[in-house]
Structure 1
Amino acid sequence: MIDRRTALAGVVGMFGAGLFAPIARAAGAAQASRIPVISEGPPSVAVFTPAQRALVSALSERVIPTTDTPGAIAAGVPAFIEKLLADWGTPGDRKPILAGLDAVSARSQRDYKVPAERATPAQQDALLTLAMNDQLPSGKEFFEAFRQLVVTGYYTSEVGITQEREYLPVPGEYNGEFPYSQVNKVYSA
């Protein structure tokens, strides 16, 4: 079975030069195999307030929602994000995430009169779209870093590797005539 350390090492190619710093640090250390797997144990320090933690969960599920496969919450993405920011992020790395969460919360209160973590999925989508389009303070910086954290957390989790993708620890032989109609999932190995 592929582990999170191996998966993190492969994440670098997914985002290239724009990789969020804590992910790059964890991936580099994972390649060096000199440290424990990132998912072991609780975060060394609490990064989020309870309201921010709830918002991270809600927004993570909006980035990768539950469909016919489990979503970000089922994959443990919110805990992964806090662990990564606590143990691999510097205060400067945490700043865009915390500022973005605060901006999303403030905009939700202004527009919807409800805390962002309790907004409807459509309202949360609208708030993320505002961040993505840089219509919130430091929105684009927040959105890009947050999206990378969610995608990395999901696709390095057991759920992402085995349920979202088809896990083949040793892929079969090459078949140049494999019918496209028989392809069900993207493979991860």
Structure 2
Amino acid sequence: MIHRRTALAGIAAMFGTALYAPIARAAGMAPAGTIPTISEGPPSTAVFSAPQRALMTGLSERILPTTDTPGAIAAGVPAFIEKLLADWALPADRLPILAGLDAIEARSMQDYKLSASRATPAQQDALLTLAMTNLIPGGGDFFEAFRQLVITGYFTSEIGVTQEREYLPVPGEYNGAFPYSRVNKVYSS
């Protein structure tokens, strides 16, 4: 079975130099001696207020929704995000996420007259699109960091590794005439 730290290194390679700093630290890309020892279990401190946590949870599911495979919530992405921000992020690293959640909440109140966590999926998608296109203050910084956290949390979770992807430690024999239509979801380390 692939370990989360190994999967984090693969995610780091995918995002390259645009990698969000706490993910780089967790993947072991930070200079030696700068990585704190992180305990298993809950975050060392609460990062989000209850309304921010509810919004972060809802938005993570909008980025990776439940389809024929489980979504972000089922994969434990919200808990991963809070753990990563609590134990691997510097206070400055948290600012784009916290400010972005607050800006999305304010825009939802302005546009829909309800909390963004209680907005419909279509309304949450519209709010994320506004953030992605930087039409909400700090939205571009928020969206890129948040998207990376959701993708990393999902594809390093047990659900992401075992149900979304198919892990084959040795991909098998070479067959140059293998029909592309028969290729399944496969990766190897």
Q: What TM bracket, shorter-length normalisation? A: over 0.9
Report the equivalent of 1:132: 132
Within 1, Cα distance between the matches of 2:39 and 2:98?
21
Query: Residue 175 of structure 2 aligns to a residue in which SS?
Result: coil
Report the equivalent of 2:164: 164
How far did residue 173 of structure 1 move? 2.3
Report the residue type matching 1:116 in the other structure: A
Alignment deviations for residues 106-161 of structure 1 (CA, whole Å, 9 cap, x no partner): 00011001100010000000000000000001100000000000000001111111
Report the equivalent of 1:96: 96
Within 2, Cα distance between the matches of 1:160 and 1:183?
18
Report the residue type matching 2:170 in the other structure: V
The answer on 1:49 being equivalent to 2:55 is: no
Gapped runs of 5+ residues in structure 2? none
Report the residue type matching 2:137 in the other structure: P
Counterparts of residues 32-71 of structure 1 (less than 5 Å)? 40-71=40-71
- Note if contact 2:168-2:186 (Cα within 8 Å) is conserved in structure 1: no
Within 2, Cα distance between the matches of 1:11 and 1:141?
19
- Note if contact 2:4-2:157 (Cα within 8 Å) is conserved in structure 1: yes
Within 1, Cα distance between the matches of 2:19 and 2:159?
22
Report the equivalent of 1:144: 144
Report the equivalent of 1:86: 86
Gapped runs of 5+ residues in structure 1? none
Within 2, Cα distance between the matches of 1:35 and 1:183?
41
Alignment deviations for residues 88-116 of structure 1 (CA, whole Å, 9 cap, x no partner): 00110000000000000000011001100
Normalised by the length of structure 1, the TM-score is 0.93
How far did residue 168 of structure 1 move? 1.3
How far did residue 188 of structure 1 move? 4.5
Alignment deviations for residues 37-59 of structure 1 (CA, whole Å, 9 cap, x no partner): x6821101000011111111100
How far did residue 10 of structure 1 move? 1.3
Report the residue type matching 1:40 in the other structure: E
The answer on 1:109 being equivalent to 2:109 is: yes
Within 2, Cα distance between the matches of 1:45 and 1:175?
52
How far did residue 172 of structure 1 move? 1.4
Query: Residue 28 of structure 1 aligns to a residue in which SS?
Result: coil
Report the equivalent of 1:28: 28
Work out the percentage of aligned pairs sharing the same amino acid. 76
How far did residue 12 of structure 1 move? 1.2
Report the residue type matching 2:28 in the other structure: G
Within 1, Cα distance between the matches of 2:40 and 2:184?
32
Within 1, Cα distance between the matches of 2:40 and 2:169?
22
Query: Residue 159 of structure 1 aligns to a residue in which SS?
Result: helix
- Note if contact 1:29-1:35 (Cα within 8 Å) is conserved in structure 2: no
Within 1, Cα distance between the matches of 2:103 and 2:10?
32
Report the residue type matching 1:59 in the other structure: L
